[in-house]
Amino acid sequence: MNGENARRPQRKLAFTDLGALRKVVLESLAEESVEIIWPHITDRGHAINDYEMYATLRDGTYEFHWESEDRYVAKHRVAGVSILVFFEIWETPAGKLVRVLTAFHVRGRRA
């Protein structure tokens, strides 16, 4: 199986335990198994970089998304700026994949 197919998302995974979710996210970060959906982020004019997203996924607090049971939100402050990262976990032939759907800075309030 080539590398592109090995990382192709096949099935979205739902978690009920934020601790288990964090473990999967940290493993995925260590394995560089993260996909950022840049077109959505840049089309919306979100001036955020991958370092800020990775730091938020690594060090932030997690919440369940309020509308979707298989979507999650990571919140963190990096260099005095509040950041939100919306993501999902997908199963691939090579393992788990974190798909960052969107991310942005939050102005005027803490994340």
Find the mean pLDDT for residues 18-23: 96
Structure confidence by residue, pLDDT tens digits, 21-56: 999 999 999 999 999 999 999 998 899 999 999 999
Helix 50-59 to helix 18-30 angle (10° resolution) is 140
8 A C-beta contact, residue 41 and residue 49? no
DSSP 54-96: HHHHHHSEEEE-SS-TT-EEEEEEETTEEEEEEEEEEEETTEE
CB atoms under 10 Å from CB of 25, counted, come to 23
Q: What is the pLDDT of residues 88-106, one digit of tens each?
A: 999 998 899 999 999 999 9
Spatial separation of the C-alpha atoms in residues 58 and 61, rounded to whole Å = 9
| Token pair listed for 50 | 């991958």
pLDDT of residue 76: 95
